[in-house]
């Protein structure tokens, strides 16, 4: 039997290699991909994105990952690194520390010039990993665990990609995805010139650009794509860590390829009759049990709950579904869904409605009877989990289509340009009737409409979008922190300043002033790394400006055949960038454009310089270095002191089990609660807190089937009281429609902490039950 399996694997390897050689000529790059867990603390940590102090982590929807590609010219040529994070955004201090580690390991091979670290903008990940005060206020300051897991995960992802470098080819494809985003600030978009708007069919970008990586030996090994839509399918009240719609799409794509690439083995190991649906993340070892219901019931009844007991630290990692039957020599398929100019793009595609009346919100201010708190974006699902799945699935299906039809091969040099710019006082030349005018950007500041939030996550009090006046009360509150001087007020006009963050320095900087701008080039693909959220029209203007420079430079490879993508929220974070006209309206995005009305023109000016330097082979001055504020960070998040259970109860014991003699159908939800401990004791990185196991054919072996990286499984953690040392873990499994019939159980892994600070790992399992 083992010989047959080995033979089939070998045949698959040959088929993959022949498929690659048939679709491409000789390789022209070295390609390496990597992926690593960056989930972070699943308890007590404020989530980054909505700035809701009450939104703290308490479990996992599915795990977060860092995914990276390295592309290098053969024969010791240039190389670039692009890392995509299932995180809200890139962080300057994370980037600084990752680059320090890379320098220690590789010397000058990977630097700020050729490394880009980008976030997908999920609003359901742990916060506290940025270095500026305004971005960590709600997380009670800096959260070392959030920071460390990102730095470690990014470094390991890049190491993996570096060690996987092999000859290969890259293909690019582009197509429209119409139903995954709508403009959440249409009144601001309409303030752009009518002639400009007429050039575009939609008020958001609908294009997805995908690159497909092919290894000379193994064939396709991964894909990265860029598409603009916010990571706000999960709401501001959600407390489960989630990659939102882009994280979901990445998992669907990786599962799809795994199922597609090894379909020859399905008959050996599993019943996969439902191949038209999104594939499940499940080991191919899971059997198709043909026993009848009565036999399964008798078998399940023979397995009692598995009481909690100590295990090794690596136990949960060893039981992860994705570790089963992985071919050690074959590169892991990696698929990333990257963020673009998503500033005004919402995944809540049904539009914004008032929760009290069901009517559409006010068009100009997104209020309901003058209140912003009641205006929310909807859909497309019946709840946030379903909406996340649907928007993720739509992106996945478009990506799979582009992946299968990608034929345009990237050819040409690997190049990059990078510089740091002080955006607090940058001189910018802007067009004016009869010539040009020199204006300046401003120190960072946020307007009153910033506090109103958006239709994806409304703010509170009496703030509203589209406010270009402010009010007396909140000005008094603002002045307690820092009153802006007249020069700053004039510079930011018509923005009424709520927080003068660029001039607030206590206990350390509240907002960034020095920002990175970067261009990465692989053949005819050009990636613009921007440290913020560009709106739709702002992104279009930036792409067009850079394209104009590239095409006018006389390089044949760019003659009307250049693919320019914006990689949003990359290397650091500085909030939003709108057009000058959108800024005048002062919706949320305009109020969050930090450096004044000419911020976009400043970016365009500096990116055009980089593009010109790239095509002319010129070097670029590095610019002023951003500060390293790690030693100044303050954390007010209380540590875990002690975990406890009632007398006679072990960590991992079942608190609430499945009913006796239970039989569940596909589509049902099974829930089991365990006595647990705080997940911050050990993040179980590359492991799992929750596991669904199926009894294999020999009736003796429990095989991993689903874990906490599966969309169908939720790990929910809670305490009976806020300061209680006791805690529970509830694991909910919504049985997929394509789950195999058989006997199952649910298991929990964790780690407890005693008064001496010692960490002890544990596990426990529920009673067995039947899925039939």
Active site residues: 346
Name beta bridge partners: 692. 706, 746
- Residue whose structure tokens are 């119409």: 178
Q: Which tokens go with 370?
A: 């003058």
Selection from 207, 169, 493, 506 nearest residue 341 by Cα: 207
Alpha-carbon distance of 741 to 771, in angstroms, equals 5
Q: Which residues contact 190 (CB under 8 A, 6 or more apart)?
A: 197
Selection from 754, 693, 36, 689 nearest residue 315 by Cα: 689
Q: Any known ligand binding at 576?
A: yes
The values of phi and psi at residue 135, to 5°, are: -90, -5
Selection from 484, 477, 481 nearest residue 461 by Cα: 477
DSSP 321-341: GGGTT--TTSPPPEEEEEE-S
- Residue whose structure tokens are 């670290």: 117
Q: Which residues contact 508 (CB under 8 A, 6 or more apart)?
A: 133, 629, 632
On whether the CB atoms of residues 754 and 763 are closer than 8 A, the answer is no
Selection from 522, 624, 527 nearest residue 566 by Cα: 527
Q: Any known ligand binding at 230?
A: yes
Q: Which tokens go with 191?
A: 């303030």
E strands present in 408-451: 408-409, 414-422, 427-432, 435-440, 446-447
Name beta bridge partners: 671. 732
Q: Any known ligand binding at 121?
A: yes
Torsion region of 30: left, alpha or beta (phi above 0 gives left; psi -120 to 50 gives alpha): beta
Alpha-carbon distance of 705 to 289, in angstroms, equals 14
Q: Any known ligand binding at 563?
A: no
Residue numbers belonging to the annotated binding site for Zn(2+): 121, 230, 533, 576
């Amino acid at each position: 039997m083992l010989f047959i399996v080995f033979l089939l694997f070998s045949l698959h390897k040959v088929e993959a290699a022949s498929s690659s050689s048939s679709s491409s000529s000789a390789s022209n790059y070295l390609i390496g991909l990597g992926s690593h867990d960056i989930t972070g603390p699943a308890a007590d940590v404020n989530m980054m994105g909505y700035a809701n102090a009450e939104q703290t982590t308490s479990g996992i929807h599915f795990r977060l990952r860092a995914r990276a590609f390295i592309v290098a010219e053969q024969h010791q040529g240039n190389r670039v690194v692009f890392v995509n994070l299932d995180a809200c955004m890139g962080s300057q201090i994370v980037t600084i520390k990752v680059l320090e580690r890379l320098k220690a390991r590789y010397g000058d091979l990977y630097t700020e010039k050729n490394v880009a670290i980008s976030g997908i903008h999920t609003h359901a990940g742990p916060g506290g990993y940025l270095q500026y005060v305004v971005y960590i206020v709600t997380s009670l300051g800096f959260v070392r665990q959030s920071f460390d897991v990102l730095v470690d995960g990014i470094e390991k992802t890049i190491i993996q990609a570096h060690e996987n470098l092999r000859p290969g080819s890259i293909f690019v494809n582009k197509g429209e995805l119409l139903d995954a985003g709508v403009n959440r600030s249409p009144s601001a978009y309409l303030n752009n010139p009518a002639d400009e708007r007429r050039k575009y069919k939609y008020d958001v970008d609908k294009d997805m650009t995908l690159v497909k990586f092919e290894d000379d030996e193994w064939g396709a090994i991964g894909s990265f794509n860029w598409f603009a839509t916010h990571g706000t399918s999960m709401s501001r009240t959600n407390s489960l860590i989630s990659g939102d719609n882009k994280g979901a799409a990445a998992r669907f794509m990786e599962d799809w390829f795994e199922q597609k690439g090894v379909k020859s083995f399905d008959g050996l190991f599993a019943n996969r009759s439902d191949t038209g649906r999104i594939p499940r993340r499940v080991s191919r070892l899971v059997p198709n049990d043909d026993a009848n219901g009565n036999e399964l019931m008798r078998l399940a009844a023979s397995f009692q709950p598995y009481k909690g007991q100590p295990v090794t630290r690596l136990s949960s990692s060893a039981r992860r579904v994705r570790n089963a039957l992985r071919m050690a020599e074959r590169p892991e398929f990696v698929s990333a869904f990257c963020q673009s100019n998503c500033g005004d793009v919402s995944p809540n595609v049904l539009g914004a409605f008032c929760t009290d009346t069901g009517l559409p919100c006010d068009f100009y201010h997104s209020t309901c009877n003058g209140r912003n708190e009641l205006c929310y974006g909807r859909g497309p699902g019946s709840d946030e989990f379903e909406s996340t799945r649907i928007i993720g699935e739509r992106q996945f299906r478009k990506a799979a289509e582009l992946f299968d039809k990608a034929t345009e091969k990237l050819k040409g040099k690997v190049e990059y340009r990078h510089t740091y710019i002080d955006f607090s006082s940058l001189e910018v030349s802007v067009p004016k009737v009869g010539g040009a005018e020199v204006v300046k950007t401003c120190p960072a500041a946020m307007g009153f409409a910033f506090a109103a939030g958006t239709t994806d996550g409304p703010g509170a009090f009496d703030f509203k979008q589209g406010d270009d006046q402010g009010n007396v009360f909140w000005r008094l509150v603002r002045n307690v922190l820092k009153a802006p001087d007249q020069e700053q007020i004039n510079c930011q006009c018509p923005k009424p300043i709520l927080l003068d963050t660029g001039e607030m320095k206590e206990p350390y900087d509240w907002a960034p002033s020095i920002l990175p701008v970067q261009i990465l080039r692989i053949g005819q693909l050009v990636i613009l790394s921007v440290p913020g959220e560009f709106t739709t029209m702002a992104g279009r203007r930036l792409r067009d400006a850079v394209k104009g420079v590239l095409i006018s430079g006389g390089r044949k490879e760019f003659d009307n055949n250049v693919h320019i993508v914006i990689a949003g929220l990359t290397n650091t974070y500085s909030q939003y960038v709108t057009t000058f006209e959108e800024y005048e309206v002062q919706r949320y995005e305009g109020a969050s454009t930090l450096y004044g009305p000419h911020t976009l023109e400043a970016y365009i000016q500096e990116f055009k310089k980089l593009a010109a330097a790239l095509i002319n082979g010129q070097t670029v001055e590095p610019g002023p270095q951003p500060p390293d504020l790690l030693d100044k960070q303050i954390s007010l998040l209380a540590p875990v002191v002690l975990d406890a259970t009632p007398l006679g109860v072990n960590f991992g014991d079942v608190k609430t089990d499945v009913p006796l003699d239970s039989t569940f159908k596909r589509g049902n939800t099974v829930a089991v609660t365990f006595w647990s401990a705080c997940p911050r004791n050990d993040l179980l990185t590359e492991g799992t807190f929750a596991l669904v196991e199926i009894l294999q054919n020999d009736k003796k072996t429990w095989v991993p089937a689903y874990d906490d990286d599966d969309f169908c499984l939720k790990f929910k953690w809670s305490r009976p009281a806020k300061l209680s040392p006791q805690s529970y873990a509830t694991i909910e499994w919504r049985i997929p429609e394509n789950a195999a019939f058989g006997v199952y159980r649910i298991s929990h892994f964790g780690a407890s902490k005693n008064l001496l600070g010692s960490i002890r790992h544990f596990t426990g399992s529920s009673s067995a039950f039947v899925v039939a």
